[in-house]
Structure 1
Amino acid sequence: MKILLLSCFLYFTLFQIIKSEPVLDTNNEQVRPGYTYYILPATAGNGGGLTLAKGENGSCPLDVFQARNSQNVGIPLKFLMVNSSAGLVIDENEDINIKFAARRYVSICNVSTVWKIEEGIVTTGGIKGGSENGTSTSLFTIQKYEDAYALQYCPRATGCSFICPRLLCGYIGILPAENGSRHLAVNRPVFKIVRFLPFLVAIILSTSFIFLVKAQSISEPVLDNSGKALEKGSQYFIVPVSGRSNEGGLDVSGIRNTVDPPVVTQNPQSSAGNSLRFTPVDSNENIVRLSTDVNVKFMDIIFTNNRSTVWTINTTLIPQRYLVAVGGVEGNPGRDTLGNWFKIDKYEDAYKFVYCPGVCETCRPFCGDIGIIVEPNNKRVLFVGSDKPLKVKFENTTSVITVTKAPPNASNYPDRLPIMSINVVMCIVIGYLTKVM
């Protein structure tokens, strides 16, 4: 009888191993250990990718959260095999460790970024390996769930090898907190799962999570009118695409009998306005990509009081309105600079600006498209929350020769010095030298 039971146990164990299928990414390729992937929600508007932050008490280790901003892809991860005799791909139901592929987070708490379970919460500080090393709290699996996948926490008995039966398993899902943060936790309900999306996706958890195929393909670049990617450090004019002849480029102005702070406005005439520079949040990124945080800075405006011309959000000039003003700072992504980060997204056959910063995981910024609100004096002010976004394209200043004229309201700014673009200055100098020669 004992032999029969043992035979049945071995049969079903081997059957589970044999019938396991490889986990596939969104390119229908096998997920491989050590490769880098993102995990994103399948349902639009249900938050972003996975990231790290300190828990409610602000202590170490860093816990695993879902980013609340749906445009934040989170931090890339790697899946590590526990069984050294396994193959070269990650199979369903196979013991794995999950590790964030971001070294800079290790120094924050001086622990590894390997996932582990602590009091039902997914946190970090785990140890790579199987349960025979006392690391059963770091064992996870990827399970087929309907037509996609789900993550499970499936530990084995401590001191037991991979051939031993598992202890009670639980799906990984989302545990929302009162402050809006979204912890990953065990035994949270798994929502309805959808198929793989074309570019993102493959694992789905509580609010439907999915693997993003390789970390390299994040988002496509924003293009100028010549079809070239917007470059960090280059200057561009904003070209409205409304088709109205009385709407020009962007400028700054005072509103409601005040000149402080200046707000970003659209010229009421067909002019190129003032040129801008875009600086991505990633200092190693040299081009501007869709749905990625950037600083926006006017380059043709100088204030004698050294006011910054970096875009920022102002909530004091008009109650309950998020106006786009100037006076922000470049760089230093985080809570203190939340109002200085903007995104560029596709909009019909052109682009639009969006305010929805993803530089602070514990913040809950107001998000919205940037459009135009018309003031009583007919000034067209950029603001957040419009149901009719300002539709724009981008023109590199090197392809445009134009004199930047002081707008009609320049007298309101005794501290402002309008300047001409460098190509205009060069044309004037060359013309003068030609004449004297």
Structure 2
Amino acid sequence: MKATSTTNVFAIFILFAFISFHLPSLATAELLDTDGDLIQNGGLYYILPVFRGNGGGIGRTTTGNETCPLTVVQQRSEVDNGLPIKISSLALILYLYEGLPLDLSFSAVPLCTPIPSRWTLVKGLLGGKGATVKLTGFYENEVQGWFEIRKHLDDYKLRFCASSNNNCVDIGVKRDDEGNRLLVATEDNPFVVMFKKAKSSYSA
């Protein structure tokens, strides 16, 4: 693990270029929350499962040898909405559309993590295979890239795209040995979600 986050100027440049080039073609489908309103750029939302009865919203916890809650997980209780999540794009727009490169971050930041508590993928933590969603700034094997929201039938799913090759993978849920419901990269079982407005930030 590393103590501080690093800034990848080149990756940021590539991201701006990606947004500028692809924005007209990506802006084809509006994203709606559970009230039927457009999802705001920079707005706070609970990310909840569409299919109830097997876990709640998205939060964070400690796994492995972590001493800080760096791991992004689905809450075990169905009635737990999780933590408010800021969904934002570098594009200068008020509302978000399907396929836009996004930053996802928790609005409430524990003292042990950098600000903001952005999400990323970290490779090789599931028995040396796969990739797990973590907070940035602590692992050497973080994957540079961005998240996006895509339609999944009548609902939505999250994807992560690597800046090195623009390859994108779905985000799913996988249980670890302690029963934590980890958010992970998956090829065949996406976590189908909806977005509920969060009225205010959650106090850590």
Q: Could you state the TM-score of these two structures normalised by the residue count of structure 1?
A: 0.36
Residues 165-180 of structure 1 correspond to what in structure 2 (within 5 A)? 167-180=166-179
Question: 2:145–2:163: 8 Å Cα contact kept in structure 1?
Answer: no
Question: In structure 2, what is the equivalent of residue 209 of structure 1?
Answer: 193
Counterpart CA distance in 2 for 1:96 and 1:111 is 17
Q: 1:184 to 1:16 in 2, by over 3 A?
A: same
Give aligned-pair identity as a percent: 29
Counterpart CA distance in 2 for 1:65 and 1:109 is 16
Question: 1:41–1:48: 8 Å Cα contact kept in structure 2?
Answer: yes
Counterpart CA distance in 2 for 1:53 and 1:188 is 24
Structure 2 runs not aligned, ≥5 long? 1-20, 124-130
User: How large is the RMSD of aligned CA atoms in angstroms?
Assistant: 2.6
Counterpart CA distance in 1 for 2:108 and 2:42 is 13
Question: In structure 1, what is the equivalent of residue 29 of structure 2?
Answer: 21
If each structure's strand is expressed as a fraction of its own residues, which one has the higher value?
A: 2
Counterpart CA distance in 1 for 2:22 and 2:180 is 40
Question: In structure 2, what is the equivalent of residue 42 of structure 1?
Answer: 50
Question: 1:118–1:137: 8 Å Cα contact kept in structure 2?
Answer: no
Show CA shifts across 1:233-254 (max 9, x none): xxxxxxxxxxxxxxxxxxxxxx
Q: 1:110 to 1:169 in 2, by over 3 A?
A: closer
- Secondary structure at the aligned position of 2:112 is classed as helix
Show CA shifts across 1:343-366 (max 9, x none): xxxxxxxxxxxxxxxxxxxxxxxx
Equivalent residue letter for 2:30: P
Q: Which of 82, 86, 107 matches 1:78?
A: 86
Show CA shifts across 1:131-180 (max 9, x none): xxxx96241000111111110001223xxxxxxxx522100000211221
Question: 2:145–2:161: 8 Å Cα contact kept in structure 1?
Answer: no
Show CA shifts across 1:18-48 (max 9, x none): x522211112111012211001112221101
Residues 184-203 of structure 1 correspond to what in structure 2 (within 5 A)? 184-187=183-186, 189-190=188-189
Show CA shifts across 1:6-25 (max 9, x none): xxxxxx957623x5222111
- Secondary structure at the aligned position of 2:59 is classed as strand
Q: Which of 144, 147, 154 matches 1:147?
A: 154
Tell me the CA shift for residue 97 of structure 1: 0.3
Tell me the CA shift for residue 57 of structure 1: 1.9
Question: In structure 1, what is the equivalent of residue 17 of structure 2?
Answer: none
Show CA shifts across 1:316-355 (max 9, x none): xxxxxxxxxxxxxxxxxxxxxxxxxxxxxxxxxxxxxxxx
Counterpart CA distance in 2 for 1:100 and 1:13 is 27
Question: 1:24–1:30: 8 Å Cα contact kept in structure 2?
Answer: yes
Counterpart CA distance in 1 for 2:66 and 2:23 is 45
Q: Which of 130, 133, 136 matches 1:122?
A: 133
Residues 365-384 of structure 1 correspond to what in structure 2 (within 5 A)? none
- Secondary structure at the aligned position of 1:144 is classed as strand
Structure 1 runs not aligned, ≥5 long? 1-11, 127-134, 158-165, 191-204, 218-281, 285-437
Question: 1:45–1:70: 8 Å Cα contact kept in structure 2?
Answer: yes
Question: In structure 1, what is the equivalent of residue 76 of structure 2?
Answer: 68
Tell me the CA shift for residue 184 of structure 1: 0.4
Show CA shifts across 1:275-314 (max 9, x none): xxxxxxx9x9xxxxxxxxxxxxxxxxxxxxxxxxxxxxxx
Higher Cα radius of gyration? 1
Q: Which of 83, 91, 102 matches 1:96?
A: 102
If each structure's helix is expressed as a fraction of its own residues, which one has the higher value?
A: 1
Q: 1:125 to 1:58 in 2, by over 3 A?
A: same
Equivalent residue letter for 1:122: V
Tell me the CA shift for residue 71 of structure 1: 1.1
